[in-house]
Amino acid sequence: MAAMASTMGAAAVAMPKAMVEASPASSFVSQRVSFVSQRRSGLVAFGVGNGSAKVSMAAAGAAAPKGGKQQKKEIDETLLTPRFYTTDFDEMERLFNVEINKNLNEAEFEALAAEFKADYNQTHFVRNPEFKAAADKLQGPLRQIFVEFLERSCTAEFSGFLLYKELGRRLKKTNPVVAEIFTLMSRDEARHAGFLNKGLSDFNLALDLGFLTKARKYTFFRPQFIFYATYLSEKIGYWRYISIFRHLKQNPEYQCYPIFKYFENWCQDENRHGDFFSALLKAQPQFLNDWQAKLWSRFFCLSVYVTMYLNDVQRTAFYEGIGLNTRDFDMHVIVETNRTTARIFPAVLDVENPVFQERLDKLVVLNQKLIDIGTTSAPAPLKAIQRVPAILGMVSEILALYLMKPVDCGSLDFAEKEAELVY
C-alpha cells in the first residue's frame, strides 16, 4: 500500500488505525474475525481528535533492547493511525469464482499477473551508507518526526502485506490468477515495509512486526469496502510518493534522508496495485453501477481525504522539514487522486471547489480543540463534556462536505490500463 497512504479513515469501519476503542464516526464496522489482514494508507476512519486510545499491544510492554536497537512493540495509536484490516473471505471467494461471476476478465488478469511477475523493482530497494549518515544528521524535533513518519509508513505498508497475503492464500483454489496477483502484491508491500523498518534501524529502532501481527486489532471491512478503500489507498499513496519525489528532485536542498530518492520506482508499485483494484472493481459492476455505489464511493473518498488532511496538518513539521507546504501538498494529492478515482468510481467529491478546503480547515481547528482538551489535567467526565461542541462541529462539517454537490463520473469500460492515463 501506499505507504503513507496512511491515509485512511473515515468513518469507519475501522480502517488504517484503531478506531475501535474510541467510537469512530461511523457505524459500519461490526464484526471482526479472529484472523488477520488489512491495510494502509490509508484508510482510516474519520478519526476525531487525537484520541488516546492505546491498542492492547501497548499493554504488552514497549521497547526491549535487542542488538543495540529498541525493538518497538507498540505504536502510538490514535484514531488516525494506520489500521490492519480483515474481510469476509468467503464472500471474496464467491466474488472471484469464474463460474459464478461472468464479468471476470481472465485475459486482463493474466496480463496483470505477467506484469507483477516481471517484478520491475526486484533490485530497487537496496540501501547504502548514505542512510545512516543522513539519520545521524537529523536531530531535535525533526528527528522525532522522521521516526514517526517511518513507523506509520511501515505500519501502513505492513497492513497491506497482511491483507494481500491472506487474500492470496484464500483465493488460491477459487481463482489462481487473482490469488497469485494478491500474493505478488504482498511481496511488494513486504518489501516496502521492510525497507522502512530498515530505515528505523538508522535511528536505532525497529518495529516488531511479528508482534504487531498477533497483538494488533483488525478492522473488518466487507469486500465491497475493501475494494473502495484499497483502491483509494493505493492511488493516494502513488500521488503522495510521486509528488514528494518530484518536489525533492526540484529542490534537492531538502533531500535530508535518502529514502525519498526511492519513491519514483516505489510509487509505480502502488500505481500497479491500484490498477489491479480498478480491474477488480470493473469485474464487480454491482459495486459501481447504482445509487448506493455512488453514496459509498463519496463516503470513502471523504474518509480518506479527511483522514489524510487531519493527519498531515498535525505533522506539519515533517512536511515543512522537506520544504513542502503541508496544506498545499495535501490538496494537490487530493485533487490528483480524485481525478484518477473519477475514472472508475461512479461519483467523487467536488474537491476542486474552494469550499471543500475551507471545510477541511474548519475540521482542523475543531480537531485541534479535541487534542487540546485531551492534554489538559481535567477529570475525564469533564473532558467528555468539553469535547461535545467540537465533536458536534466536526460531525456537522463532515456532513456538509459529504452533502456538497458531487461529481458524477466513472466508466465501466474506461481505458484498459489506467497507467496510460496517469502518465
Q: List residues binding Fe ion (CB under 5 A).
A: 1, 157, 189, 192, 234, 270, 273
d(CA 286, CA 194): 36
266 vs 196: CA distance, rounded Å: 12
| Shortest Cβ 409–Fe ion spacing (Å) | 23
With beta carbons less than 8 A apart as the criterion, state whether 410 and 288 touch.
Answer: yes
Nearer to Fe ion, 195 or 345 (CB): 195
- Dihedral sign for Cα 70, 72, 77, 83, please: positive
CB of 271 to Fe ion, least distance (A): 9
The residue (of 270 and 330) whose beta carbon lies closer to Fe ion is: 270
Where residue 61 falls (left for φ over 0; alpha for ψ -120 to 50; beta otherwise) is left
For the CB of residue 13, give the shortest distance to Fe ion in the complex, in Å: 19
DSSP state of 23: -
Query: Per the structure block, which three cell numbers stand in for 325?
Result: 507546504
Residue number, 192 or 216, with CB nearest to Fe ion: 192
Task: Give me the least distance between CB of 210 and Fe ion, in Å please.
Answer: 19
Amino acid 110 reads: E
Please choose, from the candidates 4, 26, 146, 25, the residue with its C-alpha nearest in 3D space to the C-alpha of residue 81: 4
Cell triple for 405: 454537490
We find the least distance from the C-beta atom of residue 182 to Fe ion, in angstroms, to be: 11
CA angle at residue 152 from 368 to 167, to 5 degrees?
Answer: 125
| Min dist. Cβ of residue 417 to Fe ion (A) | 17
Nearer CB in complex with Fe ion: 180/234 = 234
CA distance 189 to 16: 15
Task: Tell me whether residue 157 or residue 202 sits nearer to Fe ion (CB atom).
Answer: 157
In this structure, are strands 218-220 and 84-86 parallel, antiparallel, or unpaired?
parallel
